[in-house]
Amino acid sequence: MNREQFERIANDEVDGVASPEEREALRRYLDGNQEARDSYRVLLEMVGTLNQVGMEIPPPDLKPNILRATTLRAKASAPVTEEGFWRSLLAGVFRSVPWREAVPFAAGVGVGVLAIAMVSGNLVGSSRDSLASLRGTMMPRDAHRGAPPADRQVVAVAGARVTVTMWESGSNVTLRVEVEPGLAGETAVEITGSSLQLSDLRISPPGVGDATVGPTGIRIGQRAGEGIGEYVLQLRGEEAHPAPLEVLVRSGGQSARTAVMVDSSGSAK
């Protein structure tokens, strides 16, 4: 047995895959070779040390954070379009109506739906405000719709451009983060600070980028070539006029920081 064969068989023996013949050959080789015995002892000791370290228990908040992130992601990746919303509403209603009565019933429902839609403003031409690009995602009737933003910050780092717009309504905040990623790698946006809780997250277009919720804040990641992504975050707080939110943007090995906030009176800065 040469040195190379010895190392191979010794490693196989450690992994429990050496054949009985190889095991016997190894035993004979070790019996007559002090240097090989030392090498084998070092190997066994190292493997023993590695095995002794073993696995660590994950942090207790890992699973809750995962489930929270996936729940939000599920909401975000399945935006309800206006068309889809009305279709699902009608489908739900029709399921409870006998088939023969469906046609006259549909006419009645149609008139009713039209009336509700006109009253709620969904089919009425609304002003093309700064949220125009969110049309079709059936955003809730946010307090900020049509209202001027409380703050808007633009951060440009290594070819990436991130625009953060904030609307504030009492203790609730809506953040719109537009991410135009850099030319290579990932552009990451980390939003931290304040005691606000994320209650809803919408990403458009669906499938772009990635948003995760951690113990210290929210992280958005978008890779080069994914186009411009838009992330609308609904945040709830306990206090009116919440503290500033810190925004850290990383791209191409560089980073820049900004903050979005309302002034102490709660009005736009």
Partner 1 sequence: MIETDEEALVEQARAGDPKAFGKLVDQYQRVVYNLALRMVNDREEAEDIAQTVFVKVFQNLGSFDSRHRFFSWIYRIALNESLNHRGRRRRHEELDPGLESNGRSPDECAALGEVGTEIGIALMQLTADYRTVVIMRHFLELNQAEMSQILEVPEKTVKSRLHSARRLLGEMLSRKGITQ
* 31 touching partner 1, by CB under 8 A: no
DSSP-assigned letters across all residues of 72-100:
HHHHHHS---HHHHHHHHHHHHHHTS-GG
The site string for partner 1 over 205-244 (x = CB under 8 A, - otherwise) reads -----x-x-x----x-------------------------
Choice from 3, 28, 37, 47 touching partner 1 (CB under 8 A): 47
Q: Is 91 in the site for partner 1 (CB under 8 A)?
A: no
**Contact status: 11 vs partner 1 (CB under 8 A):** yes
Among 2, 34, 52, 127, binds partner 1 (CB under 8 A): 52
Q: Which residue has the tokens 């994914």?
A: 226
Distance (Å, rounded) from C-alpha 171 to C-alpha 111? 38
Tokens of 78: 């399945």
The count of other CB atoms within 10 Å of the CB of residue 16 is: 6
Considering only residues 101 to 140 of the shown chain, the ones binding partner 1 according to CB under 8 A are: none
Q: Give 193 or 244: the residue with its C-beta nearer to partner 1.
A: 193
Quote the distance between the C-alpha of residue 113 and its chain's center: 35
Residues with Cβ within 8 Å of residue 249, at least 6 apart in sequence: 155, 157, 160, 162, 187, 188, 189, 190, 255, 256, 257, 258
From 21, 31, 35, 56, residue interacting with partner 1 (rule: CB under 8 A): 56
Q: What SS3 class is residue 60? A: coil
CB of 107 to partner 1, least distance (A): 34
Figure out which of the listed residues 151, 168, 186, 230 binds partner 1, where binding follows CB under 8 A: 186
Check residue 151 for interaction with partner 1 (CB under 8 A).
Answer: no
CA atoms within 13 A on the CB side of 12: 16
Chain residues binding partner 1 by CB under 8 A are: 7-8, 11-12, 15, 17, 41-43, 45-47, 49-59, 62-63, 65-67, 69-71, 73-74, 77, 185-186, 210, 212, 214, 219, 250, 252-253
